[in-house]
């Protein structure tokens, strides 16, 4: 099973867990598995078309899936998947 790192804003959906294990041959299958275990998490990650929301970045072994094969990106048992919400804002000087 792959290790999935969950950011603080999504931990409410995972019962406070920051690190999960999930299986799937692709990122899509992995997200489907997360949804079965943690209902509602997919809605926070994906839009109504099923694509990862534009402000959510999903990395497989340090590479963002949009630079790979998107939701079809293969996932192996030893892989690390990180979910990172985009950050904006800052101090205007």
Read off the pLDDT of residues 48-83 as tens digits, 9 standing for 90 and up: 999 999 999 999 999 999 999 999 999 999 999 999
Report residue 72 as tokens.
Answer: 């079809």
Question: What CATH number should be reported for the domain holding residue 64?
Answer: 3.10.20.30
**Per-residue pLDDT tens over the stretch 6-19:** 999 999 999 999 99
Structure confidence at residue 90 (pLDDT): 57
Domain that holds residue 61: 2-85
Structural contact between residues 22 and 2, judged by C-beta atoms closer than 8 angstroms? yes
Structure confidence at residue 91 (pLDDT): 62
**Nearest-CA neighbor of 83 among 67, 64, 70?**
64
- Helices marked H in 1-93: 27-37, 41-45
Pairing, β 2-5 against β 80-85: parallel
Structure confidence at residue 86 (pLDDT): 84
Examine residue 75 and state whether it is found in any structural domain, yes or no. yes
Residue 4 scores a pLDDT above 60: yes
- Helices marked H in 41-88: 41-45
Examine residue 7 and state whether it is found in any structural domain, yes or no. yes
What is the pTM (predicted TM-score) of this model? 0.89
């Amino acid at each position: 099973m792959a290790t999935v790192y969950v950011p603080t804003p999504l931990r409410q959906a995972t019962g406070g867990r920051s690190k999960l294990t999930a299986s799937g041959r692709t990122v899509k299958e992995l997200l489907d598995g997360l949804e079965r275990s943690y209902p509602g998490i997919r809605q926070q990650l994906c839009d109504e078309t099923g694509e990862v929301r534009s402000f959510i970045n999903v990395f497989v072994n340090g590479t963002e899936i949009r630079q790979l094969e998107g939701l079809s990106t293969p996932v192996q048992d030893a892989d690390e998947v990180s979910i990172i919400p985009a950050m904006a804002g800052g101090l205007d000087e």
